[in-house]
Structure formats: C-alpha cells, structure tokens
Amino acid sequence: MTILRRLEAWREAGAIGAAQHDTLSALATGERVSVNLELNALLYVGVLSIAAGIGWTVQTYFTSLGDATIILTLTAALAGCFYYCFTRAHPYAPGEAESPTLAFDYVLYLACVVFGIELGYLETRFAILGDAWRHYLLASAVVYFGLAYRFDNRLVLSLALSTLAGWFGVSLTRWGFGAADTLRMSAIAYGGVVAGLGAAFRYVEIKPHFFETYLHLAATVLFVALLTGIDDGQFGLVYLAALVGLGTVAIVYGVHYRRFAFVGYGVVFPYLGISFKLLQLVDDAFFGMTYGIVSGTAVLVLLVYLARRFAREE
C-alpha cells in the first residue's frame, strides 16, 4: 500500500482530519506546504519577547537611563508602530478585512503593549492620577477597542476585553466590594455585558466576525464564576443548575454552528461542577478515586470522539 493510500484510509477511518490529510499528502508528493500558521506563531512570540524585554529594561535600568530617555524612547517606538499601521492599513470597512501585510497585526499589537507600558511608567513615576490610576485601564480599553475595530484585529480586541475586565475588577475592589459572593456576581454581570456587546455589534453588522471572540471570553468568565459558586452553602444547587443550563446552551450553539470549543465548554465545566457536588455528598475515598478514573476517562473519550466527528464533517 502506498503512502497516499494509507493516508486516505486513515482519513476515512477518522484517524486524521481532512486538513491533516491534505498537508501530509502534499508532503508525500513534494508539493508546497503553507507555513503561515508557523510564521504567525513566531511573530506572536517575537512581539511578546520584545514587550517583555522592554518591560524588563524599563524596570531594571530606569534610574540610570532617566525618565526623559525612557519616555522619549517609548513614545518613538509607539509613534513608529502607529505610523506603520496607519500608512499601510486598508480603508475602514464594517465587515472582515484582510491584513495588508503578514506582520501588520503584530506591529499593531506591539503598539498597544508599548502604550500600556508607557502609561504604567508615567503613573508609577509621576502619580498623575494618584488614587484614580485605575482609569488608565479604562482609557486603555477604549483605545484598544477603537484600534481593534479600525484595523480589524482580534488580538487587540482580546486585549481590550481583558483590560476592561481588569478595570472592572480593580474598581470593585476600590469601592469596597471584595467579598467572594460580590465578585462572583460581578463576574457573571461582566460575562453578560461582554456577550451583550458582542451580540449588539453583530446585530448592527459592525465587525460581526468579532462575535465569537466576545462569546469565548464571556463563556469562560461565566462558566468559571458559576463553578466557583457551587460550594456556596445556600445557593450551591442554584449555581449548579445555572452551570448545567449554560452548558446545555453552549453545546447546542457549538453543534449548530460547528464550533467544537463551545461543545467542550458545555461538557467540561458542568462535569466538574457535578463531580464536585457529588464527591461533596459522598465522602468516600474509594468511591472518589473510582469515580474520578471512570468518569474522567469517559469525558475524555467523548471529547476525542466529538473532535474527530467535527473534523470529519468539516
């Protein structure tokens, strides 16, 4: 049996997906293979490395370099990144737009990170806003949202949403809301707001392809918040019911729109919640170990089966 026939047999058996079959077939026949994913991964790692290097340099050598040198250097880097992006970007479009160059998205992401570093340095050194420094987070989130929608960049959108979450959490702490129940409810509210924002932008057809990014973050926050509430003595069963309900919604959405990640959310988080509640009620070490092995294996097998089925249907 030739290599190509073996690959075809593996694909039909579900051992490999269609994309894997195409890639391996191209390698076997000596055709060109795209390395776009690998290049994007290298660029992302490169941006993170540069950002980490900038942060380390500023933190370690700010006394010897001086405020003026650091601020001017960061401002020059920021201006250079923005010049590159604004001079090469396509005109704004409400729909999905391709990046003009391979490095474009990562230069924009680097600009956002440098912007955050410079704001943090200015506040640390000069305490411009003092106790109201948390508003830097809100201002940064607004800037990131604007850049994400102007340049159609999911990386920057994720940064905007996470920065907004940081402002939300810090503001609650500053206002005296530090109890676990309050933070949990706030996380649930934040998840709902994020999902609502994504749905609203999708409804008015402004970057509707961003909707999934909103949903991923909202789902993660909501599932984690509900999961942490299961140990609540008074409302634990309510949180568990909400967790199972949200899991059902996630599975239905994932199956309908062919999004395996949401199916995974809908399976794993309710499983963890039900397992925790069950082991809490049945205080037996042997039962716990047996249940963990059997149920964990069953869930893993189910997820592998679903992943392969999704891959075959695609």
User: What is the structure's pLDDT at 85?
Assistant: 93
The tens digit of pLDDT for each residue in 198-230 reads 999 999 999 999 999 999 999 999 999 999 998
CB atoms near residue 122 (< 10 Å): 17
AA identity, residue 224 = V
Say how far apart CA 161 and CA 211 lie, in whole Å.
12
The first and second tokens of residue 290, run together, are 């047996």
Last residue of one domain, picked from the residues 151, 176, 201: 176
The first and second tokens of residue 212, run together, are 């999934």
pTM: 0.77
The tens digit of pLDDT for each residue in 7-53 reads 677 667 666 666 666 666 665 565 555 556 667 777 778 887 888 88
Residues 189, 139, single domain; the answer is no
Residues 200, 163, single domain; the answer is no
Residues 244, 208, single domain; the answer is yes
Residues 159, 127, single domain; the answer is yes
Say how far apart CA 224 and CA 269 lie, in whole Å.
8
Say how far apart CA 148 and CA 146 lie, in whole Å.
6
Residues 80, 147, single domain; the answer is yes
Say how far apart CA 263 and CA 250 lie, in whole Å.
6
Say how far apart CA 231 and CA 229 lie, in whole Å.
5
Q: Pick the closest to residue 28 from 40, 37, 16 (CA basis).
A: 16
Q: What is the mean pLDDT of the chain?
A: 83
Residues 259, 183, single domain; the answer is yes
Residues 68, 161, single domain; the answer is yes
Residues 123, 143, single domain; the answer is yes
Residues 200, 312, single domain; the answer is yes
Say how far apart CA 186 and CA 244 lie, in whole Å.
20
Residues 187, 221, single domain; the answer is yes
Q: Pick the closest to residue 184 from 239, 141, 247 (CA basis).
A: 239
User: What is the structure's pLDDT at 75?
Assistant: 93
Tell me which residue range forms the domain holding 17: 1-33
DSSP track, 138-172:
HHHHHHHHHHHHHHT-HHHHHHHHHHHHHHHHHHH
The phi and psi torsions of 87 (rounded to 5 degrees) equal -85, -15
Counted residue by residue, the chain has a size of 314
CB-based contacts of 295, cutoff 8 Å, min separation 6: 271, 275
Residues 314, 193, single domain; the answer is yes
Residues 85, 100, single domain; the answer is yes
Query: Average of pLDDT values for 168-173?
Result: 72
Tally of domains within the chain:
3
215 close to 198: Cβ distance less than 8 angstroms: yes
Query: Which residue bears the tokens 């239905």?
Result: 252
Query: Average of pLDDT values for 72-84?
Result: 93
